[in-house]
Amino acid sequence: MHVQPQLSLDALSAATIRGLAIDGIQAANSGHPGMPLGMADVAHVLWSRFLKFDASSPDWADRDRFILSAGHGSMLQYALLHLYGYPLTLDDLRQFRQLGSQTPGHPERGHTAGIETTTGPLGQGFANGVGMAIAEARLREEYGADLCDHHTYVIAGDGCLMEGITAEAASLAGHLGLGRLIVLYDDNHISIDGPTEITFTEDVAARFAAYGWQVAKIDGHDMTAVDDALRAAVADTGRPSLIQCRTTIGFGSPKMAGTSKVHGTPLGADEVAATKLAIGLDPKASFAVAPAVYEHLQARNGEREAARKAWDARMLGTRGQAFAARVYPDFSNIAQHVQWPSQLPGAQLSTRKGGEQVIQALARAIPGLVGGSADLGHSAFTDIAGGGSFQKDSYLGRNIHFGVREHAMAAICNGLACHTGHVPYCSTFLVFHDYMRPAVRLAALMGLQVVFVYTHDSFFVGEDGPTHQPVETLQALRLIPNLVLLRPCDLAETCAAWQIAVQRTSGPTSLSLTRQNLPEIERPAEFDVPAAVAKGAYVLREAGSALRVVLLATGSEVALALAARDVLEAEGIGVRVVSMPSCELFDAQPAEYRASVLPATAPKLSIEAGLRRGWERYVGQDGDAIGLDHFGASGPDKVLARHFGFTTEHVVERARKLLAR
């Protein structure tokens, strides 16, 4: 291997990181070489001198969290993981961006050891970092620094800093004084369309200082400056830190450095060779690592493993076992430890108020349940009574006040879930899910246990009008893979929905709750509501005579279906009412069960205060659907119900027409 003799071990290590990154991208003929070339010096100093980890135990609970928010630069992280001894081989690097490889195009949590969160959509990783810092702060306050004492480091770029989600998250982080959150900003002055000066000329340092952050500006290629800035950031425990690293995108590339082209275009074989020569590597060698680099970067691995084992020993104590129960929870039998609220049949209560009762019951049984709303605590009713507020001077608080920051709120909850130790939930009106959707999608992609609580879930919001009436949002949520949506019809189903949410560890759950009161449904005393809801749909009321028609409803429309059934049954028409709180859970049931609930022999009429589109999957070509294929209107909820046909009379009329057909 050709190595220029003047390179120090640190310089050679940074050059090796660069070489592996551009080799992987060139082998794939796809990727983003600019950021790895530009940030290799910063990343090397961070990983070699500051980051706390144990490559032999990637999921060690007290490790520092490292997030590559600028996830397009994934080869930087893959090179680091390989060089420090994580289970990622040179062959894995050679398979960059190939189907089934351990090195996908953007970092994916759960796919590659050492990846904390799935990044790519810019700004998401930054906001996840805020959630991880909140998680660390709460756990350290509760269990002590001997069990929880780590930092969250984020590498973010200009794109991350431009995204609105970053502004939301950074503002909250500064307010909360999250001093163990340190962001390394790759300030290379280049975006895909050209120099950042065409769109991004604000004073970023002044903006973050105004947020309450400690800010430093450094030369990102000066390792001593990087070291000094990181030491100052670690020492400033009262403020999050932004280290603005002035770098050259594509550093070392003779023809492409400093240009927008190097952001997302492989260098090409000739430019790869020229770049290696420029940074002191053998231009003819590919995926080459000098033994001295492995030795240098892994020299402290024994020390790192020993630190982790010492922590393991501390975990054997009573407090350590309690901490372990928090970060490695088992909720399979949680239902037995919760005093579930209940009410008599016919009692009137909105499911948002019912949800409030359930949250109090769960909070007593699950110490790690934390959450809040986007400035809607008095409307969504998701505060934990007596739980205190998570604030700068009170990190034990269980109620997180996210402010009017829906997008960051969802991504911060994702970070809380990635960190482990908490069951996070967040809430807002259903119509504002659109502000949260990118983060909700990533929660589903990562399989995170996050509960998204949505209230005011239909046109029954009333006078607020069409801007606040989410006619299309239920179906939009149902389109997200691995997201379970539950729309309960009363307190009993709301309890069951929350039980599913806290037991579901393979993905997020959304709850759709009403603003208006609903009657508690009468069921036989022995009826197992949680088991029924867990199947997604169930027969709530069987036909009193030969089955003629099935009324299928969700949430607030279940009571309407029951009222229509009473009228039709009085006319001698056998009507089955099916409650379907979750389409996703129902779709996962065996075909025999689904056919037993929705038999092909009877016509079906669905009723939901949202789009009719999608219900043809359940009612079939011969069925019918009552819904809204248009926006709502401003007016009292009962007036709107009549106007839109959500009345007993209209449901009965449509059922008769369906039978006549």
Tokens of 351: 């499911």
E strand or H helix at 71:
none
**Which band of pLDDT confidence, cut at 50, 70 and 90, is reported for residue 540?**
very high
Give the confidence band of 39 by pLDDT, cuts at 50, 70, 90.
very high
- Say how far apart CA 124 and CA 126 lie, in whole Å: 5
Average pLDDT, whole number, for the chain? Answer: 97
For 429-461, how does the pLDDT look when each residue is reduced to its tens digit (9 = 90+)?
999 999 999 999 999 999 999 999 999 999 999
Dihedral sign, Cα of residue 98, residue 99, residue 102, residue 103? positive
Query: Are the CB atoms for 632 and 466 separated by under 8 Å?
Result: yes
Query: Burial of 551 by CB count in 10 Å (0-12 exposed, 13-18 middle, 19+ buried)?
Result: buried
Q: Is 622 exposed, middle or buried (0-12, 13-18, 19+ CB in 10 A)?
A: exposed
Tens digits of per-residue pLDDT, 344-371? 999 999 999 999 999 999 999 999 999 9
Instruction: Yes or no: say if 254 and 278 are a contact pair by the CB < 8 Å rule.
Output: yes
Tokens linked to 638:
């009962």
The single-letter code of the amino acid at 216 is A
Length of the chain: 661
Residue identified by tokens 């001593």 is 224
Q: Taking the CB of residue 2, how many other CB atoms lie within 10 A of it?
A: 12
Identity of the amino acid at 61: A
Name the fold adopted by 334-519. Rossmann fold (3.40.50)
pLDDT of 2 > 80? The answer is no
- Taking the C-alpha atoms of residue 496 and residue 362, their distance in angstroms, rounded to an integer, is 12
Q: Cα angle vertex 258, ends 253, 259, to 5°?
A: 100
The residue behind tokens 């949505």 is 454
Is the CATH number of domain 530-660 3.40.50.920?
A: yes
Per-residue pLDDT reduced to its tens digit, 199-237: 999 999 999 999 999 999 999 999 999 999 999 999 999
Contact present, 484 and 499 (Cβ < 8 Å): no
Within 8 A by CB and 6+ apart from 304, the residues are 52, 53, 54, 55
Considering only CA atoms, give the Rg of the chain: 28
For the stretch 103-132, pLDDT in tens is: 999 999 999 999 999 999 999 999 999 999
Q: How far is Cα 125 from Cα 70, in angstroms, rounded to an integer?
A: 8
Average the pLDDT over 590-600 and give the result: 98
Q: How confident is the model at residue 1 (pLDDT cuts 50, 70, 90)?
A: very low
Tell me: pLDDT of 4 over 60. no
- The rounded percent of the chain whose pLDDT value lies above 90 is 99
Angle at 120 between CA 35 and CA 273, to 5 degrees: 30
Residues 254-280 have pLDDT tens digits of: 999 999 999 999 999 999 999 999 999
Give Cα 142 distance to the centre of its chain: 24
Q: How far apart are the C-alpha atoms of 151 and 153, rounded to whole Å?
A: 6
C-beta separation of 165 from 405 below 8 A = no
- In angstroms, the Cα distances linking 2 to 25, 34, 254, 281, 289 are 21, 24, 19, 6, 11
Q: Which residues are catalytic?
A: 406
| Same fold flag, 9-75+115-304 and 334-519 | yes
The CATH number that domain 9-75+115-304 falls under is: 3.40.50.970
Q: Are 625 and 654 in contact (CB under 8 A)?
A: no
Q: For 333-352, what is the mean pLDDT?
A: 97
CB atoms within 10 A of CB 660: 6
Please name the residue ranges forming H helices in 366-512: 377-380, 406-419, 433-446, 473-478, 491-503
Q: What is the tally of helices (H) and strands (E) in the chain?
A: 27, 19
What's the pLDDT at 63?
98
pLDDT of residue 661: 85
Asked whether 252 and 37 are in contact (CB, 8 A), the reply is yes
Q: State mean pLDDT over 491-508.
A: 98
Residues 6+ positions from 519 with CB-CB distance below 8 Å: 345, 346, 347, 348, 490, 559
For 5, the 3-state DSSP assignment is coil
**Per-domain residue ranges for the chain?**
9-75+115-304, 334-519, 530-660
pLDDT confidence of residue 3: 47
Residue with tokens 């606040």: 468
Q: Is 630 helix (H, G, I), strand (E, B) or coil?
A: coil
